[in-house]
Amino acid sequence: MEIAAFAFIAVIVLFIVFKRIIEPAYMLIFNKPLYVHFYLFPKKLDESQKAVVRRDFKFYRDLSPVRKGYFEHRVHYFINNYTFLGRGDLEVTDEMKLKIAATGVMLTFGMRSYLPAVFEGIIIYPDVFESRNGDMHKGEFNPAVKAIVFSWKDFQEGLEFDNDNINLGLHEFSHALQLDSLAKRRPGSSAIIYSDMFHEIMAYIDKPENRQKLMETNYFRSYAYTNSFEFIAVILEYFFETPQEFKQKHPDLYDMVKKMINFREG
């Protein structure tokens, strides 16, 4: 009994040291979490589910076998963590859930805490829908009702045309991730790193010479300049859809986005 109690206390002490000393020091030096993936009992997708993810997500296809397993585990938990609701007689299928979950997981794959707490449900309409303010929308993140809403037609198009820099799923999930991170809703290092890099990006684009370069290249669509939330959501679409062009045209901004979501290739 005494040995067990001692072991329990030792584990608690080590955990506190890790959280308060070791990882903060590591983050200060390297600006990234000490670790991202660790799963005692990893979940797997079945072969039919893997086929869907493999077909529609180049991101998944490019991962190493080990990291494919991490991705599948997270997709499984994403589907089970949120409620999926169809509207307008739309039946939500397992394939829909897989595609939505894989999109959300792709965005947060570099983060240890990867399930935003600012939404609980995902609502899917067949096509464009009327929002509460009376406007017709393709998608929206509504923090008041803790929901993300998609037009399935437009969500699908975002996956089918994966190099046009328009991805509705990434866009709306980016809004949720931003609010979740800036409000420090998620525990751990991910929200801190995201928040720090967000402020660095805002400082970067506030400089007249950097803003002028952004305008001159005419790379990002004009909607990006609506406000800071739309800017981040839009550039994350570009980051995943045309990364090489992004890196070539705006290397400094690309590196900041990469650090913000702790992205690594392969």
Over the chain, what is the mean pLDDT? 90
pLDDT, tens only, 238-257 = 999 999 999 999 999 999 99
Q: Is the pLDDT of residue 133 over 70?
A: yes
Q: Distance between CA atoms of 76 and 79, rounded to whole angstroms?
A: 5
Convert the pLDDT of each residue in 160-203 to its tens digit: 998 899 999 999 999 999 999 998 666 668 888 999 999 999 99
Dig out the tokens for 150 from the structure. 């998609």
Q: What is the pTM of this model?
A: 0.90
Q: What does the pLDDT read at residue 91?
A: 96
The model's pLDDT over 17-63, given as tens digits with 9 standing for 90+, comes to 555 566 666 665 666 777 789 999 999 999 999 999 999 999 999 99
